[in-house]
């Protein structure tokens, strides 16, 4: 059984999706803690209502990012985290923390990486005129939004889409691919590429097709 900690900054709908999956009997892993970097994150209630301990480490209480990261690390150690999930955690973690949890730290990003790393992905996708958009679950490496890809969802862009309507359809897929990828990592089924950097990840018992979700509406 792996001990999973979910880090959030906002609404917590991906946290909710993970908790729902974790409540299924066959899941076999436990979400042992939530860490929020803002005391007003609505997702804190999502964790608390599920009876999960929530540690709030407000970024704005710290003058130095190093002190903030030290306290994040302490919370992760206190929870004895095996797997750490960034689920709408809107901070870039420092290299030390990322390296410490290397291969055990994953992130959900709302675009088809490597397209549109960073912020405002839905607006940028519409501006670029792409016909497909989506979300990516990837392992976190020191290079922002560039770690090895575990799962992706593909969402068609509709004429008349706004960043909000597109975001809503992408979010629906995030809730499906993120819990799956978390369970693969928690199961210890993920084999990293032999060369450092981005490459094809092998996941025991999971085909490439099963790692791809295509939304057809």
Instruction: Report the alpha-carbon angle 44-74-40, nearest 5.
Output: 20
Residues near ligand GRF, by CB under 6 A: 8, 10-14, 43, 87-88, 108-110, 171, 174
Pick between residue 2 and residue 107 the one whose CB is nearest to ligand GRF. 107
The distance of closest approach from Cβ of residue 194 to ligand GRF in the complex, given in angstroms and rounded to an integer, is 29
Of all residues in the shown chain, the one whose CB is closest to ligand GRF is 88
* Least separation in angstroms between CB 1 and ligand GRF: 24
Which residues are catalytically annotated? 109
Nearest to ligand GRF of 66, 162 (CB atom) = 162
In the bound state with ligand GRF, the residue whose beta carbon lies nearer, of 42 and 188, is 42
56/70 with CB nearer ligand GRF: 56
Q: How far is the CB of 69 from ligand GRF (least distance, A)?
A: 19
Q: What is the C-alpha separation between 44 and 109, in angstroms, rounded?
A: 20
Q: How far apart are CA 59 and CA 64, in angstroms?
A: 9
* 28: phi then psi, degrees, rounded to nearest 5: 80, 10
Q: How far is the CB of 115 from ligand GRF (least distance, A)?
A: 14
């Amino acid at each position: 059984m792996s001990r999973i900690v979910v880090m959030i900054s906002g609404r917590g709908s991906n946290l909710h999706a993970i908790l729902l999956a974790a409540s299924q009997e066959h899941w076999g892993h436990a979400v042992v803690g939530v860490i929020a970097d803002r005391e007003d994150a609505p997702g804190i209630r999502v964790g608390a209502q599920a009876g999960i301990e929530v540690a709030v480490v407000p970024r704005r209480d710290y003058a130095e990012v190093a002190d903030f990261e030290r306290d994040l690390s302490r919370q992760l150690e206190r929870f004895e985290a095996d797997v750490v999930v960034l689920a709408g955690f809107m901070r870039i973690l420092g290299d030390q923390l990322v390296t410490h949890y290397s291969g055990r730290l994953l992130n959900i990003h709302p675009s088809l990486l490597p397209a549109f790393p960073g912020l405002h992905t839905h607006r940028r996708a519409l501006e670029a005129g792409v016909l497909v958009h989506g979300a990516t679950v990837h392992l976190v490496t020191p290079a922002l939004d560039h770690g090895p890809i575990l799962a992706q969802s593909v969402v068609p862009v509709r004429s008349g889409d706004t960043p909000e309507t597109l975001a809503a359809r992408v979010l629906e897929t995030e809730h499906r691919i993120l819990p799956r990828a978390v369970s693969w990592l928690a199961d210890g089924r993920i084999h990293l590429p032999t060369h450092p950097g981005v490459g094809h990840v092998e996941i025991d018992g999971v085909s490439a097709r099963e790692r791809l979700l295509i939304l057809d509406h």
